Amino acid sequence: MRTALSHSRPIGDRPAGAWLRGRAIGRRVGAVAALVLVLLACLAASAGADVGEQIIERCTHGQSLSGFSQQAYRRALQELPTEVEEYSNCANLIRRAELAAAAGRGGGAGAGGSAVATPLSSSERKALRNIPKTGAAPQRVGSELVRPGVIHANIASALSSLPAPLLAVLAFLLACALALGARAIGRSVVARRSD
């Protein structure tokens, strides 16, 4: 043991270059390890996010929605864009695939194959037949008379439905416009008096 201690040098006696090289290598290894951890975290996050996007893409292209987990279906429903939800049947198809997977049937069929048309009732068929005959004449809906092509706008209700921060910004812009208008009027009055 004494021989081992006698051959080792204290830290202060080591050459400066070796110590600095060791620190530089340690920093590089640490930086590479941190970079690898960040990349792995990004890949894991993007892989989870891509599952929902993949389900939505498959639905919009009429492909099969089977073979995904319940969590993937839930994520797809959360990420479903408003346009896709409004103008397609994807939300219903994803829910059906989710229910089928929960029941152990393996998910839903393609978006085109699983959509089932609901037959019209007799009153709905009659209303559809009468549409070309009604024309642009006013129609009574409930207790109100509705005129096709006329939009009844209520400005008070339109303003009250705006979010409070947007109303504050609009009020500020209106105040600034009024202040600039008053300043311009004041300058023109002063210019006329000086003439």
Q: Of the ranges 19-28, 82-91, 131-140, 181-190, which one carries the lowest mean pLDDT score?
A: 19-28
The CA distance from 193 to 195, in Å, is: 5
Dihedral pair phi/psi, residue 64, rounded to 5°: -65, 140
% of the chain exceeding 70 in pLDDT? 58
State the Cα–Cα distance between residues 189 and 177, nearest whole angstrom: 18
pLDDT surpassing 50 at residue 110:
no
**pLDDT for the residue numbered 157:** 64
DSSP output for 134-157? HTTS-EEETTEEE-TT-----HHH
CA distances from 59 to 112, 117, 131, 194 (A): 9, 17, 33, 74
Domain residue extents for the chain: 49-116
Q: How far apart are the first and last CA of the chain?
A: 107
Please answer whether residues 55 and 68 qualify as being in contact, where contact means their C-beta atoms are separated by less than 8 angstroms: yes
- Taking each helix axis from N to C end, the angle separating 16-60 and 70-79, rounded to the nearest 10 degrees, works out to 80
pTM: 0.34
Token pair, residue 172, equals: 């500020």
pLDDT at 137: 75
19 pLDDT above the threshold of 70: no
